[in-house]
Amino acid sequence: MISKSLSPRESGAHIVEHAKHVRVLPEGIKKLSKEILEGLQSKRICVDNFSQHELHPNPEDSKPDAYTGAADWVFVLDTLNFCFWTPNNYTKYKVNGYTGYFALCAAIKRAIAEGVDVTNAKFYSEIDLKTVEHIFRSDDGETKIPLIQKRIECLHEVGNSLLKKYDGRFENVIKAADKSAVRLLELIVEEFPCFRDQADFAGKRVSILKRAQILVGDIWSCYRGKGLGFFHDIDQITMFADYRIPQVLVHFGSLEYTPELLEVLKTDTILENGDPIEVEIRGASIYIIEQVRDEVMKALKQDHPEISPDNVNSIVIDQYLWDYRRQYQADLEHIPFHKVLSIYY
């Protein structure tokens, strides 16, 4: 990883060890592990869930170039997969009725349907403000996608890097990783600086890498762990630390905030990226899900030989908890969350 930083898993452990504002609770980890086991047994947690969503690319589509084109589509999605809220309204930006990340997905899918070459690196390496505003136009015709200028910068950066070294195709980055998720993660962070989600904490350079890891995870999920999506070390990818999953972790009693931190969160203070509070919450999230994953794998080995552990990892656990937060939004809304205007999540 760049500049001798800790890996995300190592970062989570280091952050929890030195945290002053958050606590990890073993009983809550057990409770969460039980929820995940039940989800696996009922098949609510499954690698197929990604491609089954109508807004995601499907590499098995019959259209020409659908197989390799799906990788370019996912790459554009995760280049732009950050900050869909504004300080005074968390769901104002909508596309075809969708909010948040799915509003982004809906905008990209709409652009493709309209014949816009939005997944072509040459196209987006030169994209201008007017075109971006049109592609990501909202339902109300007024609300702009947040951090629009930053999105243009990200598209220019990754498009130019892709054209310069990888013939403009993200599949070539995947192939260069030689079926290693860790190597792909390293390549993404090395080649595309806007994915370098890192911070200094308690004397170490820590890596959270939400968007870089979700890009690897989405490629794995999109191709269902086969072909371009096969990685022999996919279990090394951790959860994707954002501002919503911690609400679920607090809900299950695996994460606890100090009274002082709760007060900060309740005041809707906008934190700076790299603030120790932000780093602690995100690092603890990684640590907890890694503990849950380890507990679940142990339980599968001992008590559930009927469930294959091959597609059980932090990626599917994260996806399940992210969906859980959306499903039980009303129940979880009383739990405050940290707010950072950032390109990293």
Q: Is-contact 187 177, C-beta < 8 A? A: yes
- Catalytic entry in 72, 78, 197, 242: 242
For helices 314-327 and 210-222, the axis angle rounded to 10 degrees is 100
How far apart, in whole angstroms, are the C-alpha atoms of residue 107 and residue 238? 28
Give 88-124 as a 3 state SS string.
Answer: CECCCCEECCEEHHHHHHHHHHHHHHCCCCCCCHHHH
How far apart, in whole angstroms, are the C-alpha atoms of residue 221 and residue 151? 24
How far apart, in whole angstroms, are the C-alpha atoms of residue 240 and residue 38? 22
Pairing of strands 204-207, 198-201: antiparallel
48 is known as an active-site residue: no
Q: Which of the residues are catalytic?
A: 242
